[in-house]
Structure 1
Amino acid sequence: MQSSSNASALRQTAPAGAGWMQGLMGDMDEAAPGLGLAQRLVVGVELRVIDGRLAPGTKMPSVRALAGKLGISTFTVTESYSALRARSVLASRPGSGYYVLHRPAPAPDAAAPPAAEAHADPDRPPPAEYRGDELVREAMRRVARATPEWDDGARPGLGLVRLRERIAARHRAELPALGPQQVMTAAGSLGAAMCLLQAWTAPGDAVLIESPASRQLRRLIHTLGRGTLEVPRRGGCLDIAALDEQAALLPAEGRRRLLFVSTAVSNPLGVCMTPQGAHQALQAAERHDLRVIELDAWRGLSPLQAPSLAAMDGLQRVAQVGSVSATLSARLRLAHVLLPQRWTDDPALRCLHTTLGPSEFEERVACEVLADAGHARFLQRLNTSLKIAGERTLSLLTGAGLQALCVPDGGPFLCAGWPAGSEPRPSSDAVLLEARKQGLPLTAAADFCTTPQPFAWFRFNVTQCGDERLVRFLARIKNP
């Protein structure tokens, strides 16, 4: 089910010799003197993968073995291996260890874009005040102290049982019959989507997807060789007439008929589905025999009344993708999928989870985070901070003559543009170019949809749009 290049890389399982570690500590200090030890180890390993000293398929030393050879803690190696896995430099096999996945692109040279452009990545993590890094770091320390050999044993079923029990318990208010056997862990929400896509569709298949939708999800679908059939979303409702029309183009086999939709503070709109919109979507799913993939990574930042398709459906034809890490930290990539009971024994899904699922270390860290009373307090503070930042950003945009595509219900995203009649309107290319110069993480409507829009709009991340920078940006783009 993996791509051919990744699969062939994993089939080559030559152990790593000692030569690649020659001079590693010195190279780490020279390459990244301002970083922490774990980050420097990540850089050192990446350099050796780039220059060929660590070939694709090479088996890495165990956490304890590498820590002993380098004279550093097992926690440092654990954190580095997790980061390298998140960067797709290493892959893990439960019960076997870590392997080099592929050779990453070399570091940028002098011809790279200016620093301001490099920092304008629209998908970069939010500033530190919007993250729960310390919460995750403390959980990592506790796990590393308690289980230094966390990566040495085989994992059961669809993930760590203790974590699946905890996640199931958190959803029982809405799904009283939910059992841990219906929970699958995943390496982030995109990792969950990848598992479901590869288990239930084949290259050349098309899937229904709301429009606009997360650009990372759209890219993933196309990277896996699947097509997208876009269903316009009008605020809190899907265009059901368009869904009815597009559903006729899906594969005939029921398990390959998928609809991806967000109900709580969707990316990029930041709006929730209305109860009526959710009910209409479920009716259409039943009418066309669709498997619904409810993308729910941002529910922790949504109003309490936001509907849940999984709860309304009773987990009959909806798989809900939730996230532990989306609102926390880039240090942790952990999501989960709530599955209808009859889908839990799918051999393809279990096989893909074994290959693409999260490491046991990440699962144990997630357990610690969810058990920590500080997690709920962090979400409360984050919601308050995002509300303030969102209101401030919307006020600044409105003052500059922009119109919001939708007023967001919560979360970090806000879409706005200059509507017809607000001439002179800058071109999309001019806006994006100026945003890069200002270091603002901005993306245009074309990254999220191909369906017609009421006007050209851009997605703003309110956590990265400070007053001074945004005002300066808007002033310069209107008066170059």
Structure 2
Amino acid sequence: MENSWAASGAAQGSAPGSASRSAFGRDLHLDLPGSGGIRAALLRALRDAVRSGRLAPGTRLPSSRSLAADLGIARNTVADAYAELVAEGWLSSRQGSGTRVAERAPARDAPGPARRTPSPVDRPRFDLTPGRPDVSSFPRTAWLAAARRALTAAPSDAFGYGDPCGRPELRTVLADYLARARGVRADPDRIVVCAGFMQGLGLLSRALRAGDGGPDGVSGSPGRMAIESYGLSFHRDVITRAGLGTVPLLVDEHGARTQELPALDDVRDIRAALLTPAHQFPTGVPLHPDRRAAAVNWARSTGGYILEDDYDGEFRYDRQPVGALQGLDPDHVVYLGTASKSLAPALRLAWMVLPDRLVDPVLALKRTGEWQSGSLEQLTLAEFLACGAYDRHLRGMRLRYRRRRDQLVAALADRAPHVHVSGIAAGLHAVLELPPGTEQSIVEAARWQGLALEGLNSFRAPSAPGTARDGLVVAYGTPPDHSFAGGLEALVRALPPGPEPEA
């Protein structure tokens, strides 16, 4: 028989003689074997908890009175066990601070093979890999003020499980903001808040898979989604896990070749195309106006959809940002936005503006157990948008990122003029064009400079036709201000020298 209790009221039921169990103290779970006596069992349980690390040095234990009440044993038994463990060095006791686990030196590891000394390859000092903003610039003070106002005004239902659509306060404010800032034709009833872009893409892929010829459809093939030949591998993974195939759509200096969608559709059953029209990721070019029109025309003529990933559309430095593609045809373009680049990935806040006929299928899937963004974060973002703090933050970050891009371009012009920066002045990264066959060696050289860097080819779809381009995707938006100069210095050191000047 075992006596297993969690001290200070955390156990289920009641221990014998504990009608007045302590309602104060600290929780402590102990398993006391029935054999060998209670005192000996208590000593073994406490030693084992300390020896295993479950009770760390400095941890304060419950008082002898609390632990005795919770275990249903005599207080003197606990007091004697504590005293013996203090004498043995397992515990320490000081007047006024209670009984604690003693600060003991950690046991030495057994001798083993010599450990390899970490190299710069293992521990990069600088990070210029894309995928996130400068999180050190998160507007903590303004966000905290918005959170306080939002929490004060929050209705009681905000503390429940929430609606799969998202909080109505956020959807209403988002509809106004997206119309004003991105040219999106949005209605709050067609906005669905997601726990990040990946969740939104997964929901859409599953809805498209089930809608025609999928496991919940009538007949036909599972269908495919056209994807840009350069993009993120985990986006492709989300689509394929949902049951859709992927077909690469070539990208050139004018963006994705959307004029080829009809020909692909004839032989590949394309149901949707995932595009980054404002600023193609990662090549950095905007979708040409003719190709924007071609994408929308294809969707209209086939009943398909364009999934518009507007991941950094608010960051354009040489002119006003191009309006969202969704504004051309809200019935055939799904707009996907996120706070991951404008604020921080940790917020897990993204949104979809859906055509009417996709709202019910997407919500039906979301109700089956998909994670939802926290209501309090949604209310805070709604307040952050409504009070103008979001616009102010974006203006400040545009200036910061533009300065960094200018620094990058100036450093290359001064020390590596043979390296060309392609793409428009926008977003949080730039592409450095390289001679064929040099990309991997430069990435390795950067690692030995203590710099984490990614090559352009790491973003190329494996099945993409045509010739691969060598280049570097340099994320000037990733590092905090204090480390950007060092990262830039490591970058230019890693670049190969230019051609010798002619005599």
TM-score between the two structures when normalised by the length of structure 1: 0.67
1:163 aligns with 170
Aligned with 1:330 (options 332, 345, 350): 345
- Write the letter of the residue equivalent to 2:191: V
Unaligned runs of 5+ in 2: 1-9, 13-26, 30-49, 58-114, 215-221, 498-503
Q: What per-residue deviation string (whole Å, max 9, x for no partner) do you get for residues 124-164 of structure 1?
A: 64435543344334434444555597774242351111111
Aligned with 2:123 (options 100, 111, 116): 116
Aligned with 2:453 (options 442, 461, 464): 442
Q: How far has the Cα of 1:182 moved from its partner? A: 0.9
User: 1:352-371 maps to which residues of 2 (within 5 A)?
Assistant: 352=367, 355-371=370-386
Any idea what SS the aligned residue of 1:197 has?
helix
Asked if structure 2 preserves the Cα contact closer than 8 Å seen for 1:403 and 1:416, the reply is: yes
2:245 aligns with 227
Paired positions, count: 374
Matches of 1:165 and 1:327, distance apart in 2: 19
Matches of 2:434 and 2:119, distance apart in 1: 28
Aligned with 2:312 (options 284, 298, 307): 298
Asked if structure 1 preserves the Cα contact closer than 8 Å seen for 2:185 and 2:327, the reply is: no
Q: How far has the Cα of 1:439 moved from its partner? A: 4.3
Any idea what SS the aligned residue of 1:229 has?
strand
Q: How far has the Cα of 1:293 moved from its partner? A: 0.5
Aligned with 1:243 (options 261, 280, 291): 261
Aligned with 2:160 (options 153, 158, 170): 153
Asked if structure 1 preserves the Cα contact closer than 8 Å seen for 2:313 and 2:321, the reply is: no
1:258 aligns with 272
Q: Which has the larger radius of gyration?
A: 2
Any idea what SS the aligned residue of 1:248 has?
helix
The alignment-based identity, stated in percent, is: 19
Q: How far has the Cα of 1:275 moved from its partner? A: 2.5
Asked if structure 1 preserves the Cα contact closer than 8 Å seen for 2:275 and 2:309, the reply is: yes
Asked if structure 1 preserves the Cα contact closer than 8 Å seen for 2:227 and 2:248, the reply is: yes
Matches of 1:343 and 1:364, distance apart in 2: 25
Q: How far has the Cα of 1:307 moved from its partner? A: 3.3
Asked if structure 2 preserves the Cα contact closer than 8 Å seen for 1:139 and 1:365, the reply is: yes
Q: How far has the Cα of 1:111 moved from its partner? A: 9.6
Matches of 2:421 and 2:271, distance apart in 1: 30
Aligned with 1:135 (options 124, 131, 142): 142
Matches of 1:121 and 1:148, distance apart in 2: 43
Aligned with 2:487 (options 446, 469, 472): 469
Q: 1:354 to 1:336 in 2, by over 3 A?
A: farther
Matches of 2:360 and 2:223, distance apart in 1: 23
- Write the letter of the residue equivalent to 1:246: L
Matches of 1:150 and 1:397, distance apart in 2: 55
Q: 1:296 to 1:126 in 2, by over 3 A?
A: closer
Any idea what SS the aligned residue of 1:201 has?
helix
Aligned with 2:281 (options 248, 267, 277): 267
1:407 counterpart = 2:396: no
2:217 aligns with none
Matches of 1:409 and 1:18, distance apart in 2: 61
Matches of 2:154 and 2:116, distance apart in 1: 44
Matches of 2:131 and 2:340, distance apart in 1: 14
Any idea what SS the aligned residue of 2:346 has?
coil
User: 1:13-412 maps to which residues of 2 (within 5 A)?
Assistant: 116-117=123-124, 120=127, 122-123=129-130, 125-128=132-135, 130-144=137-151, 152-156=159-163, 158-173=165-180, 178-201=186-209, 205-224=223-242, 226-251=244-269, 257-302=271-316, 303-313=319-329, 315-346=330-361, 349-352=364-367, 355-398=370-413, 399-401=415-417, 403-404=419-420, 406-412=422-428
Asked if structure 2 preserves the Cα contact closer than 8 Å seen for 1:183 and 1:337, the reply is: yes
Matches of 1:362 and 1:321, distance apart in 2: 19
Unaligned runs of 5+ in 1: 1-16, 32-108
2:110 aligns with none
Q: How far has the Cα of 1:113 moved from its partner? A: 7.8
Q: 1:419 to 1:236 in 2, by over 3 A?
A: same
Asked if structure 1 preserves the Cα contact closer than 8 Å seen for 2:255 and 2:280, the reply is: no
Any idea what SS the aligned residue of 2:431 has?
strand
Q: What per-residue deviation string (whole Å, max 9, x for no partner) do you get for residues 442-465 of structure 1?
A: 222232223335631121101247
TM-score between the two structures when normalised by the length of structure 2: 0.64
Q: What per-residue deviation string (whole Å, max 9, x for no partner) do you get for residues 410-438 of structure 1?
A: 11111113225xxxx64x33322333344
Q: How far has the Cα of 1:318 moved from its partner? A: 0.6
Q: How far has the Cα of 1:352 moved from its partner? A: 5.0
Matches of 1:384 and 1:119, distance apart in 2: 22
- Write the letter of the residue equivalent to 1:378: H
Q: How far has the Cα of 1:184 moved from its partner? A: 0.7
Asked if structure 2 preserves the Cα contact closer than 8 Å seen for 1:275 and 1:307, the reply is: no
1:58 aligns with none
Q: 1:124 to 1:170 in 2, by over 3 A?
A: closer
Q: How far has the Cα of 1:201 moved from its partner? A: 1.9
Matches of 1:295 and 1:211, distance apart in 2: 15
Q: CA RMSD in A?
A: 3.8
Any idea what SS the aligned residue of 1:463 has?
coil
Q: How far has the Cα of 1:329 moved from its partner? A: 1.9
Q: What per-residue deviation string (whole Å, max 9, x for no partner) do you get for residues 109-132 of structure 1?
A: 999886624864835644355433
- Write the letter of the residue equivalent to 2:460: C
Matches of 1:176 and 1:463, distance apart in 2: 26
Q: 1:294 to 1:177 in 2, by over 3 A?
A: closer
Q: How far has the Cα of 1:225 moved from its partner? A: 5.1
- Write the letter of the residue equivalent to 1:184: V
Matches of 1:177 and 1:471, distance apart in 2: 44
Structure 1 range deviating more: 318-327 or 283-292: 283-292
